[in-house]
Structure 1
Amino acid sequence: MESDSDVALSDEEPITAEKVLEALEEAWLNEKFSPELLQHRTDLVDCMMEQIAQMEENLNRLNRNDFRVVVHRMELDRIRYVITSYLRIRLEKIELYTAHILEEDNKRSSDDSYLSPAEFRFATDFLASLEGNFRQLALRHMPTNMQNFDKAKMLVRPNIASFVFLRSKQDVGGVVVEGDVENRDEEIDLEEGSQHIMQYKTVQELVKSGGYN
């Protein structure tokens, strides 16, 4: 990247733009492979958007024939792709699991919310739109006893028993792998850098705490 200046995330100590990008790419991969919605990292997105603007300004000062322009333009396109993909994946999950996500987020404090303020507004409006469309359809085509919009019946939950590919970021001991009907649970140790395919629920809390990606 053209700029490697220090940046700050909220009240944290300033870190380099390169480290912010690494953290964003990790959040993107975790979101991509996790069946459930993870806690938002809009702080990283906002920070990288500021970096993109700064990098654009720096590129505009260079001669168009300078080869560095091509290289840095490619890097900018890659960063934009990561940001766009990350936000799109989250949006798709919100649309699929709207009622469940809102139900879970209402149990959390504002500081621990998995939805960003913008995502929360979208999810709330999206669910209201679903309810409105259902009521219009029900009034026209359904009997009276079937015209109530039951959010509980609309609740679609992510499949945390699905298998995912993961890489351990550190040594982790005592990971309990659930056995099938004929086998008992097994306790295993995972080494830093090791790669595995296992049920998401086995490492669900570790993913959220940053032990895997």
Structure 2
Amino acid sequence: MEEVDEVVEENAEFLEESDEDGGVTAQSVLQDIENAWLNEKFAPEILPHQSDAVECMLQQISHMEDNMKSLGKGSMKSLIHQMEINRIRFIISSYLRCRLEKIEQYAMHILTEEAQRGREDGYLSSDELRFAKDYLSSIELLFRTLALQHMPNVLQKFEIETMTVKPNIHAHVFLRANKRITGIIVPGTVDEEVDFEEGSQHIVQYSAVADLVKNGDIQLI
């Protein structure tokens, strides 16, 4: 047990090392990714990407793997370090996979919304944007191919706008308030406002708190 506690402490110390430029620790970045993962998992729409945080943690994983080289294979320390690395990898991969699934489901809607934002305000990373465009082009090509082969002429016109699927932003979500928030307007009521106390948990329509999720005032759970 002492050896296990020692390794856990080593992992914590490593993740708490500060970034040289801004004093940001790997532990705080990991927490940001975990929060982003839960928000992405439970929000009906795609949220602003956290590519910088993901890249930072991938670099930290590389450092952790380098540190493991000095440990004996099969040792308790090595196994616990590997478990922590696997946990971080799972969070990152699950976060990215969730975003790709939303892009596939709402590709046309996401690209339309993205085109209305500035470069600095985009929700998609450059790789995700390229994937979305390629995916939509593939769907269009598949439809045209099938239409030419199997559909009558009157049905061969491809109007992708009519096939657009939008996320249901009126779906209810379970949330926790990260700070005291006042004046939240509840949809479906006549300008009824409610207040959230810090740490309180609620179930409300996503549309009422979408901006608060994106700025970090609210955490989806």
2:140 alignment partner, one of 123, 131, 135: 131
Query: Displacement of 1:153 after TM fit?
Result: 0.7
2:208 is equivalent to residue 202 of structure 1: yes
2:95 is equivalent to residue 83 of structure 1: no
The match for 1:163 is 172
What amino acid sits opposite 2:179 in the alignment? Q
Determine the C-alpha separation between the residues in 1 that align with 2:82 and 2:192.
49
The match for 2:154 is 145
Amino-acid identity (%): 49
Gaps of 5+ in 1: none
Kept in 2, the 8 Å contact 1:168–1:195? The answer is yes
The match for 2:61 is 52
What amino acid sits opposite 1:78 in the alignment? R
Q: Deviations over 1:24-75 (max 9, x none)?
A: 1111111011000001001111000000000001011123354222222111
2:13 is equivalent to residue 7 of structure 1: no
- The root-mean-square deviation of aligned C-alpha atoms, in Å, is 1.4
The match for 2:128 is 119
Q: Deviations over 1:134-157 (max 9, x none)?
A: 001111111222212112111110
State the secondary structure of the residue aligned to 1:15: coil
Deviates more, 1:105-114 or 1:69-78: 69-78
Q: Deviations over 1:103-143 (max 9, x none)?
A: 00011111111110000110000000000000011111112
State the secondary structure of the residue aligned to 1:71: helix
1:63 alignment partner, one of 68, 72, 77: 72
Determine the C-alpha separation between the residues in 1 that align with 2:59 and 2:23.
14
The match for 2:193 is 187
Determine the C-alpha separation between the residues in 1 that align with 2:162 and 2:151.
16
What amino acid sits opposite 2:140 in the alignment? E
What amino acid sits opposite 2:208 in the alignment? T
State the secondary structure of the residue aligned to 2:217: coil
TM-score, with structure 2 as normaliser: 0.89
What amino acid sits opposite 1:93 in the alignment? K
Q: CA separation of 1:151/1:14 partners in 2, compared to 1, >3 Å: closer, same or farther?
A: farther
The match for 1:20 is 29
Count of aligned pairs between the two proteins:
207
Deviates more, 1:201-210 or 1:80-89: 201-210
User: Once superposed, which parts of structure 1, at least 4 consecutive aligned residues long, lie more than 6 Å away?
Assistant: none
Determine the C-alpha separation between the residues in 1 that align with 2:18 and 2:57.
12
The match for 2:6 is none
Determine the C-alpha separation between the residues in 2 that align with 1:72 and 1:78.
10
1:74 alignment partner, one of 79, 83, 86: 83
Kept in 2, the 8 Å contact 1:7–1:47? The answer is no
